[in-house]
Structure 1
Amino acid sequence: MTPNPPDASPEPWTFSANGVLEALTWAQAVDALQSTLADGFDPETDPDRHSIDAAGGHMLLMPSSTGQRLGVKVLTVRNGPDATDSLPTIQGAYVLFDGDSMAPLAFLDGAALTKVRTAATSALAIRHLADRPLPRLAVFGTGAQAHGHASALHATAGVEHVDVVARDSAKGEAFVRQLRSEGIPASLATPAAVSAADIIACTSSAGAPLFSGDAVKDHALVLAIGSHTPTTRDIDSTLVSRGSVVVESRHSAQREAGAVLIPQSENLLYVRDLPTLSDIVQGRYAVSAGTGPRIFVGTGMAWQDLSIAGAVFAEAQKQMPGFTSPEYLQPGPTTNASRDTARYRIERSPLGFHSDRDTFASPATAHLGQARRAGEGEWVAVDNYGRPVATIWSPYLGRPNTFRCDPLPHARYVDAVEADDFSVVLDYALNNFSTAL
């Protein structure tokens, strides 16, 4: 007994948070953004971000198109969740479409996509603004963006040590331990760490300047990406007056970037005259040496989501073409195989899209749940309440780079050559992942 094969007509692929985070290396993500700009896309034409208020927060709509691809991100941002609340502050989804057929190509986890594209955009700015090695990073915050920036800049910008500045020392210490476990040297610090920092990443949503601009070294590179309203900012006017400022786009900065709008109201600069990320990537502008700190101001733009979503989809097409026929599943007993020989990988599933169109149940574990096809090569084991329990990936054999974060905690590998049929793989997932391993 095997799961239903994909329909003859193409179906949108689904990328969970893990799927988005594992699809690209940081260098590939930065390259995708650079290619979009180098190919002539003008961020000044990107549609505005739209916000819709709700009882518990607000919703953001971010559409974009490059012609060949188009897409939209829908995010919800909760108002001040309680410290004991387990629900994330940011939740959402991205839909990627083909520009010719206008057909949907993929659904992607929106929060994970935001983490990747924001950190990759900062890394792209550093790629073009840095004029020397920048080994020490001071990061303000402990959330997804703090982690994304520490990881991306360690991988692409030569960062050798991360100073973590946190309002909550317990969260800061936990974040330091996480970075160290990932091979990134880190320590807990105070705002005074900016005086020794080569890169300063403002990833918190404090809304007010996080440090004194006088304390920043002349050669430092500052990433002001934590605020996106005209009246909030994470850097002060002193820093802006000392340095060279580059923005994502003049249009978006004029709408949303308090980091430059407040200094503009003080007659320290004019947003219309500021160079943009596109200017430096396409070689229309270069920051002169000896002009003080280099400052990149970003509020997040829809074209960045589209670039990364398109790259995730393209990489998945190359590495994981998915089920081609039900005969792919071979007979034999289930084993916990080596990752080097396995044809399936089973991992704990995050929340995401889980279609109930194609379902499969095993008689032995029907009381526990069933499998639902979530995308090409991806099945999700769900319990009888519809909650995702585990993700079953296939084909896996011969694709050692498909899962770049291996070995993941609690991942299991199953050799399809020895599997009785897909029901045995599903039985293994439901029996072993329904409770904590």
Structure 2
Amino acid sequence: MLVLNENETAAALGWAPLIAALKEMFAGDCQMPVRHHHTMEVPGRAEATLLLMPAWLPGRYCGVKLVSVFPDNHLSGLPAVQGGYLLTSGETGTLLALIDGSVLTARRTAAASALAARYLVREDASHLLVVGTGRLSLHLIEAHATVRPLNRISVWGRNLAKAEETAAAARELGFAAEAVDALEACVRQADIISCATLATDPLICGDWLKPGAHLDLVGGFRPSMREADDAAIRRARVYVDTRGGAMTEAGDIVQPLANGTLTPEGVCGELSELVRGTVHGRGSPQEITLFKSVGAALEDLAGAILAYETVKGLRQKTG
């Protein structure tokens, strides 16, 4: 059985191959039961979340991810997201690989946003604003840059010093990145606004979005969490990664559904429909689009298969 650590997992999940793998999986026949979602008490700290996410391709591969989100892990100098992925044979159940779940989660999340951007972002989009300074922020920069030729990248966070750290890391990778402290002013200018925070109160006001903007909401995964307000929902064509997940778990969708700002019919499509061409994406250069993701087990399976087959192929060549 292959055991892939953090660095090996990252190296096996290049952005272009990963985005392609997600596209193929969303278009395919992956089986994906409803994931287990449990809240865990952490004495003296914010509640944590435990997720168990199974998926399989009949006769090919089966896998399950165990992931936890501990929002106060920064107090211990640790990433908020921890976990692992177990990949098995879909024919015999044989254990094939144990893959670093934190890296897999972060990279497939950013790749899903980039895949959606292919259908929802203007072709001439060049300015990306990333809201949030966690480990996912740099991944979002790299992933979005894979599908659009970005020439300006802004990073905003509640802590300007951390925003500068992220911007500096992006500059080391060759991106024209800068930290910004005026969120509203930057939102009004940006072509793509990608949010990866744990906010419970909206950070993005829909009235700030310029015509043609794309809003990518990644962070919120509970009904109590919001990154954008109702005005953003009203102004945008709304898409989700999966209806089953976003319409029951994501506050950015659940709350507008509950207060009447959004109807179920107002969700224009999910990622599988965009990939298969059964729904249309952006319809005009002036439309505002919004993509909300909460993550789906098929995304993890796609990444796990890619990592396993990539590493196995490399070892066979060198063995």
Aligned 8 A contact 1:198 1:220 in 2: yes
Equivalent in the alignment of 1:129: 120
1:77 and 2:66 matched? no
Query: In structure 2, how many angstroms separate the alpha carbons of the residues matched to 1:253 and 1:34?
Result: 19
**Percent pairwise identity:** 29
Equivalent in the alignment of 1:309: 304
Equivalent in the alignment of 1:29: 18
Give the deviation of 1:265 after TM superposition. Answer: 1.8
Equivalent in the alignment of 1:50: 37
Equivalent in the alignment of 2:91: 100
Which has the larger share of helix? 2
Equivalent in the alignment of 2:257: 264
- Alignment of structure 1 residues 200-219 onto 2, 5 Å: 200-219=193-212
Aligned 8 A contact 1:250 1:271 in 2: no
Which stretch of structure 1 is more off in the superposition, 115-124 or 315-324?
A: 315-324
Structure 1: runs of 5 or more not aligned: 1-11, 325-437
Aligned 8 A contact 2:37 2:49 in 1: no
Give the deviation of 1:88 after TM superposition. Answer: 2.6
Equivalent in the alignment of 1:156: 147
1:33-90 residue CA offsets vs partner (Å, 9 max, x unmatched) = 0011223447xx542242251436332211111222111111222242354x223322
1:242 and 2:235 matched? yes
Equivalent in the alignment of 2:50: 59
Give the deviation of 1:254 after TM superposition. Answer: 2.2
Query: In structure 2, how many angstroms separate the alpha carbons of the residues matched to 1:282 and 1:155?
Result: 21
Query: In structure 1, how many angstroms separate the alpha carbons of the residues matched to 2:130 and 2:79?
Result: 21
Partner AA of 2:313 in structure 1: K
Which stretch of structure 1 is more off in the superposition, 314-323 or 279-288?
A: 314-323
Helix, strand or coil: the match of 1:299? Answer: coil
Equivalent in the alignment of 1:17: 6
Query: In structure 2, how many angstroms separate the alpha carbons of the residues matched to 1:52 and 1:210?
Result: 24
Helix, strand or coil: the match of 2:145? Answer: helix
Query: In structure 2, how many angstroms separate the alpha carbons of the residues matched to 1:76 and 1:234?
Result: 21
Which stretch of structure 1 is more off in the superposition, 219-228 or 57-66?
A: 57-66
Partner AA of 1:172 in structure 2: A
- Aligned pairs, how many? 310
TM-score relative to the length of structure 2: 0.92
Aligned 8 A contact 2:74 2:80 in 1: no
Aligned 8 A contact 1:200 1:223 in 2: yes
Partner AA of 2:54 in structure 1: P
Aligned 8 A contact 1:212 1:239 in 2: yes
- Alignment of structure 1 residues 172-183 onto 2, 5 Å: 172-183=163-174
Partner AA of 1:128 in structure 2: Y
Which structure has the bigger radius of gyration? 1
Give the deviation of 1:178 after TM superposition. Answer: 0.9
- Alignment of structure 1 residues 36-435 onto 2, 5 Å: 36-41=25-30, 45-55=32-42, 57-67=48-58, 68-81=60-73, 83=75, 85-189=76-180, 190-192=182-184, 193-271=186-264, 273-274=266-267, 275-287=269-281, 288-289=283-284, 292-321=287-316, 324=319
TM-score relative to the length of structure 1: 0.68
1:122-157 residue CA offsets vs partner (Å, 9 max, x unmatched) = 000011222422110000011111111011112332
